Structure 1
Amino acid sequence: MTAAPADTPPRLTRLTFHGPLSEARATRLVERLTRTNPATVLDIGCGWGELMLRLLTAAPAAKGVGIDLNAEDLARGRQNATDRGLSARVDFVKESALGTARGPADLVLCLGSGHALSEAEPPTHTAEVLRELRRLVADGGRVLLGEGFWQRTPTPGELSGMWPGASAEELYDLAGLVELAVAAGFRPEWIETAGMAEWEEFESGYQADAEVWLAGHGDHPLAAETRERLDRHRRAWMSYRGVLGLAYLTLVPTT
């Protein structure tokens, strides 16, 4: 991973996964998802593709492709692949996932990256993402979908503190999300959700490096911009904490 210059805020160095995912859950996911001996893995909105790299390590005959638009994250993924002796079996590609022809793959990962597959507005967005995932997975394969859902209906006050334009209609509850997956041509092999400890580990790790940097660089030219960004994100997290959930759905395509 390329480090940020010493006089600028570091970025995401405290995170192993770009999402609320514990080591214990990741280990269980890798074990479950490699039972079918996938030969091809496609990671949509991969970031640095940590879970994909672990899957490739556990499935030595498999090859992987991760697609994303963030060059810095892709570079981190390539470096991690090289460090683990996986560079010959994985490609990190900077491109859009909209309408991608990269499938079908035996295993498709889409972890918090549904926005990369559809530009539709809610509530049709989630259904379109699931239809795209069904198109991208081979018969007999698996999809691991990490998707947001409401743990309870958010109040107007909570919504006003979240991301711009947040609405109660934007996400489904867990039952509604699973039913959408079934309607798109899947059966749910496994339904699980991120716990509070996973959320707190992720959200704190997401901010921690820059928070520590800011504490010691209050007169830096980037200080005001960094403070505003950190404060905005923390306040949003405090608004969706305990309200926004993340489901990890292991989906089997129907034929």
Structure 2
Amino acid sequence: MTTSGTGIPHRTRLTFHGPLSEARADQLVARLARNTPKTVLDIGCGRGELMLRLLEAAPQATGLGVDLDAGDLARGRESAASRGLTERARFVEESATGTTRGPADLVLCVGASQALGDRLPEALAGLRRLVTDRGRVLLGEGFWQRTPTEDELSRMWPGAAVTDHHDLATLTDLAIDAGFRPEWTETASLDEWEAFESAYQADAEVWLAEHPGHPLAAGTRERLDRHRAAWLTYRGVLGLAYLTLVPVRAAR
């Protein structure tokens, strides 16, 4: 069982570290595999679940996952080994900022654009540099479904600001400005968000209910309550777009 290092079960109910259902993951993998990538680069890969599924669907491909979380990378390697993908999947612990990895036929960047730059245009320029001319980018990026109020922002994450995200139209325009065309645009549903946020906390919530007098209970309760209050505030306000992007080739 995965724990947080304190003995408290930690994220064992999550398959993906984001609002992504099995049905949508299957559709994404099938669509991206049809382009027959030979190389896959996963920025901020975590456990690399989506990358590994793509390697299963595209047997000609090899994959490289980049992340700073040693624990997630170790679990990714274990998962690759259990699927017989050790020879085709690598996980490296390093920053993606200014990375020289790539270009790859398929670049995954789901909830990790900040690893490529503090501003989205900078991150998108980095993604254009990391993908081959005939490749694809899967960008999973937050957007405002509506402009949050100041009161809502004060109850989200520390320092939350309207400028943290764009609306979906602006997000798509920024991708086009960076040298892409959107092949497919889809957004996480409310059900996907609720399943993700519930699974993110569920292990610790059950542990807390069973160990209310534990020395770690007070800190765990504070953390859980703070996160729940935040996500119930951005529920229906913050969206996540999954954009399949095609690089525009240079004119000849």
Q: Same fold (TM over 0.5)?
A: yes
Q: Taking structure 1 as reference, are residues 7 and 184 closer, same or farther at Cα in structure 2, changes over 3 Å only?
A: closer
Letter in 1 for 2:136: R
Q: State the match for 1:193 in structure 2.
A: 187
Whether the 8 Å contact between 2:2 and 2:11 is mirrored in structure 1 is no
Deviations 1:40-72 (A, max 9, x none): 000000000101000000001100000111111
Deviations 1:215-254 (A, max 9, x none): 1111222111211111111010011000000000000000
Report which stretch shifted further, 61-70 or 223-232: 223-232
Please state how far the C-alpha of 1:153 moved relative to its aligned partner: 0.4
Whether the 8 Å contact between 2:144 and 2:239 is mirrored in structure 1 is yes
Please state how far the C-alpha of 1:3 moved relative to its aligned partner: 2.9
Q: Does 1:165 align with 2:164?
A: no
The structure 1 segments of at least 4 consecutive aligned residues displaced by more than 6 Å after TM superposition are none
Please state how far the C-alpha of 1:145 moved relative to its aligned partner: 0.2
Whether the 8 Å contact between 1:8 and 1:222 is mirrored in structure 2 is no
For 1:8 and 1:83, the matched residues in 2 are separated by 25
Q: Does 1:76 align with 2:82?
A: no
Q: State the match for 1:35 in structure 2.
A: 34
Q: State the match for 1:129 in structure 2.
A: 123
Please state how far the C-alpha of 1:4 moved relative to its aligned partner: 2.5
Q: State the match for 2:210 in structure 1.
A: 216
Matches within 5 A, 1:143-162: 143-162=137-156
Letter in 2 for 1:86: L
Q: Which SS does the other structure have where 2:87 is aligned?
A: helix
Q: Which SS does the other structure have where 1:88 is aligned?
A: coil
Q: State the match for 1:105 in structure 2.
A: 104
Please state how far the C-alpha of 1:10 moved relative to its aligned partner: 1.0
For 1:222 and 1:67, the matched residues in 2 are separated by 32
Q: Percent identity?
A: 68
Q: Which SS does the other structure have where 1:11 is aligned?
A: coil
Q: State the match for 2:44 in structure 1.
A: 45
How many aligned residue pairs are there?
249
Please state how far the C-alpha of 1:6 moved relative to its aligned partner: 9.9
Q: Which SS does the other structure have where 2:233 is aligned?
A: helix
Q: State the match for 1:91 in structure 2.
A: 90
Whether the 8 Å contact between 2:4 and 2:10 is mirrored in structure 1 is no
Q: Does 1:251 align with 2:245?
A: yes
Q: Does 1:174 align with 2:173?
A: no
TM-score (norm 1): 0.95
**Structure 1 spans left out of the alignment, 5+ residues:** none
Please state how far the C-alpha of 1:7 moved relative to its aligned partner: 6.8
